[in-house]
A and B are shown apart, each in its own frame.
Chain A
């Protein structure tokens, strides 16, 4: 209630100020004409103020929430420093959809590839039999297809998406980073390569998912609509699709379980994993450690902005 009152009083003072300014501007006009202009200005200003207020409240509420969280965290881990947003809400949503679908697909798909494995029968019976398991697999497939389409639109339509896509394109620097990183692992050079927003490891993960999605969805659709596919293609094309689906599934699963899990879970820096996929935030400390170039860029941008604000004032 007090917040609303405060806002109302703020609004009143603002209205009075504008009223005074208008009165000053129309002082040498005829009273009737001055009144007309005054009315017009008043209406327009009120509209503007109202809109501003509405925008502010939503944004303010979020900012307030974030500030409180930040304070709490800072009390707990003062060494981490400021928090930056690394992944926006849309991006995190995409990641959640993707990993949910991939987990579903792996646990319903792998028993088909390895029917004699001890857990296979359990994983199939978990859904109440083989038929249900195939339905769950298709639900997972639907989610993955949705993710792919969503991500394509995100890449094209969103500013953040376009920016990230450009930053994800491999560059010669990635090859140099890889060499330097290996030399660093071997102790040949003391300093780690300085990564930008995306390291070559993250770029590899991104393009691996791209490749995996194309192969898996492409071959999977053939197998899903086998009757339709066989209207236009001979049987051996379906066998090829089956082979691709099965083999690429293995590769993707191994890459996720070994490579991705090491980088985000079992890596001693991260163990047992961070919640970045949920809140999308990265600490200043981590930022300096893992993405120093991006951090510097952000800092440069910020100081430029501050300088601009100062000159504007």
Chain B
């Protein structure tokens, strides 16, 4: 009771709820009463733009969703009389979803990241096209993210994001990650795999997981993992070799102009190097490198890209490294030995003199 009262107070405080004080008990409208109208299959509304809005909502609507045990007015609590005179307001999820709630919602504040995200700030600025909770999670058919049928499950989330980001969705769908995911390879990343879930930022925002200097780190969450990469026969050292290269070091020190993974491999349209459409296909390498190194020619593609000088496969580079390794060790050992002999002689003579 006390919890409900508090919840009602918060609703008032948020300025979303009622125009006056009302007892939560009064607001109870049973499900049967709603289905009087909303249970009819032909109950729909024609909007001004000609679209038909289906208003069907029966006892089955919430079945299987996380809100299975809730009733209509638990969310549509501004409906206090039947028939309601106005269109009910948009449901406010934070009514229940906050840490410390007594409604049985998950005790999590994770959604708070949404308000700082590119979507949340767009909403705050008054962009009506920006998504709210229900735009991604669904309105009645909300399921847990782990449930494959959920709109935000790994397999389905790309389609959900693609409802607005249609061009990117098309690129992603034909990319190696999109294709892999559609082949039921659950390790492959979907949108949220790289961009994050609630904390999605624009790629020019330094907070973003896909900001220029964070890209390598983001890709390395999977591509540096031997456990994942060995399954698909992909080299897991690509990340290390990149990080040790000039590009990787410059990126580490905050250079935003230097190449990161996405500069060469593509962003949403990443394809395997054998694919003729791939940016890293040897035929396309001059064009890809040419984005930063004007006048790039086929010479750019001669030799391995991700070179590891410690590996014998690197050929002449490996032998150069080997030569310098032994030269350095040999020279330094000789020089240090000379220094220690000198010091030994000095201390000996010093003792002798005393």
A231 contacts the other chain (Cβ, under 8 Å)? yes
Check A247 against B324 for contact (C-beta < 8 Å): yes
Contact of B336 among A186, A231, A239, A258 (CB under 8 A): A258
- CB < 8 Å: which of B314, B316, B339 contacts A262? B339
Residue of A nearest to B251 (CB): A130
Please, which residue of chain B has its CB at the minimum distance from the CB of A134?
B250
Instruction: Kindly state the separation between the CA atoms of A185 and B345 in the bound complex, as whole angstroms.
Output: 4
Determine whether the beta carbon of B327 is less than 8 Å from that of A121. no
A234-272 interface with B by 8 A CB criterion:
234-237, 239-240, 242-244, 247-248, 250-251, 254-255, 258-259, 262, 267-268
B321 with A247: CB separation less than 8 A: yes
Query: Are A251 and B328 closer than 8 Å at their CB atoms?
Result: yes
Chain A: CB-nearest residue to B302: A234
Give chain B residues whose Cβ lies under 8 Å from the Cβ of A258: 332, 335-336, 339
Query: Is B219 part of the contact surface with A, judged by Cβ < 8 Å?
Result: no
Asked whether A236 lies within 8 Å of B293 as measured between CB atoms, the reply is no
Interface residue? A233 (CB, 8 A): yes
Residues of A within 8 A of B317 (CB): 236, 239-240, 243
The reply on A129 being an interface residue by CB < 8 A is yes
Which residues of B279-298 are within 8 A (CB) of A? 293-297
* Residue B128 is within 8 A (CB to CB) of chain A in the complex: no
Q: Is the CB of A268 within 8 A of B346?
A: yes
Cα distance A236–B299 when bound, in Å?
9
Bound CA span A236–B319, Å: 12
Set of chain B residues within 8 Å of A236, measured between Cβ atoms: 302-304, 307, 315-317
Known: A236-B302, A236-B304, A243-B320. A250 touches B253 (CB 8 A): no
> B interface, how many residues as a size bin?
35 or more
- Whether A239 lies near B303 (C-beta < 8 A) is yes
Which residue of A227, A235, A248, A254 contacts B302 across the interface (Cβ within 8 Å)?
A235
Bound CA span A179–B105, Å: 84
For residue B277, give the distance in angstroms from its CB to the closest CB of chain A: 22
Chain A residues near B252 (CB, 8 Å)? 115
Q: Is A226 touching B293 in the complex (CB atoms < 8 A)?
A: yes
B residues less than 8 Å from A130 (CB atoms): 250, 253-255
Chain A proximity of B180: nearest CB distance (Å): 29
Q: Does A302 contact B (CB under 8 A)?
A: no
| Nearest Cβ on chain B to A125's Cβ, whole angstroms | 8
Q: Are B297 and A231 in contact (CB under 8 A)?
A: yes
Instruction: Please judge, given known A-B contacts A111-B253, A255-B332, A255-B335, whether A243 and B324 are in contact too, CB under 8 Å.
Output: yes
Q: In B319-354, which residues have CB < 8 Å from any A CB?
A: 320-321, 324-325, 327-328, 331-332, 335-336, 338-339, 341-342, 344-346, 348-349
**Residue A23 at the chain B interface, CB threshold 8 Å:** no
Chain B: which residue is nearest A112 at the CB level?
A: B249
B300 at the interface (CB under 8 A from A): yes
Chain A nearest CB from B254 CB (Å) reads: 6
Contact between A185 and B342, CB atoms less than 8 A apart: yes
Instruction: Determine whether B5 belongs to the interface, using a CB cutoff of 8 Å to chain A.
Output: no
Q: How far is the CB of B263 from chain A (nearest CB, A)?
A: 16
8 Å CB contact of A233 from B243, B253, B255, B299: B299
User: B309 contacts the other chain (Cβ, under 8 Å)?
Assistant: yes
Known: A182-B341, A185-B344, A227-B293. A235 touches B300 (CB 8 A): yes
Q: Is B43 an interface residue (CB 8 A)?
A: no
Q: Which residues of B contact A78 (CB under 8 A)?
A: none
Contact of A251 with B300 in the complex, beta carbons under 8 Å = no
Q: Which residues of A contact B315 (CB under 8 A)?
A: 236
Q: Which residue from A129, A226, A242, A250 sits with its C-beta under 8 Å from B328?
A: A250
Secondary structure at the A interface, as helix, strand, loop or mixed, is helix
Smallest CB separation, B331 vs chain A (Å):
6
Task: Assess whether A172 is interfacial by the CB under 8 Å rule.
Answer: no
In the complex, which residues of chain A have a beta carbon less than 8 angstroms from the beta carbon of B341? 182, 185-186
Q: For residue B309, which residue of chain A has the nearest CB?
A: A243
For A262, what are the chain B residues with a Cβ–Cβ distance below 8 Å? 339, 342
CB proximity of B136 to chain A, nearest CB, Å: 38
A89 interface contact, C-beta 8 A: no
Contacts of A115 in B (CB 8 A): 243, 249, 252-253
Assess whether B111 is interfacial by the CB under 8 Å rule. no
For the complex, give the distance between the alpha carbons of A157 and B339 in Å.
36
The closest CB in chain B to the CB of A233 belongs to: B299
Chain B residue at smallest Cβ distance from A251: B328
- Judge whether A251 and B297 touch: CB under 8 Å: no
**Beta-carbon contact of A251 and B324 below 8 Å:** yes
CB of A187 within 8 A of chain B? Answer: yes
B301: interface (CB < 8 Å) = yes
**Chain B residue with the shortest CB-CB distance to A259:** B335
Chain A residues within 8 Å of B332, by CB: 251, 254-255, 258
The interface residues of chain B lying within 8 Å CB-to-CB of A121 are 253
Given A115-B253, A239-B303, A255-B331, A187 and B345 contact (CB-CB distance below 8 Å): yes
CB B70 to nearest CB in A, in angstroms, measures 52
Q: Is A230 an interface residue (CB 8 A)?
A: yes
Q: Are B339 and A259 in contact, CB atoms less than 8 angstroms apart?
A: yes
CA distance A120 to B305 in the complex (A): 26
* Beyond A239-B317, A259-B338, 20 additional pairs, beta carbon < 8 A: A111-B253, A115-B249, A129-B254, A130-B250, A185-B345, A186-B341, A186-B345, A226-B293, A227-B294, A230-B296, A230-B297, A230-B299, A234-B302, A236-B315, A237-B303, A240-B317, A247-B320, A247-B325, A247-B328, A268-B346
Residues of A within 8 A of B (CB): 111-112, 115, 120-121, 124, 129-131, 133, 182, 184-187, 226-227, 230-237, 239-240, 242-244, 247-248, 250-251, 254-255, 258-259, 262, 267-268
Q: List 5 contacting pairs A-B, 8 Å CB cutoff, sorted by A.
A: A115-B253, A131-B255, A234-B302, A236-B317, A255-B332
Chain B residues close to A by CB (< 8 Å): 243, 246, 249-250, 252-255, 257, 293-297, 299-305, 307, 309, 314-317, 320-321, 324-325, 327-328, 331-332, 335-336, 338-339, 341-342, 344-346, 348-349
7 nearest A-B pairs in the assembled complex, by CB-CB distance: A236-B303, A234-B302, A247-B324, A185-B345, A130-B253, A185-B341, A235-B303
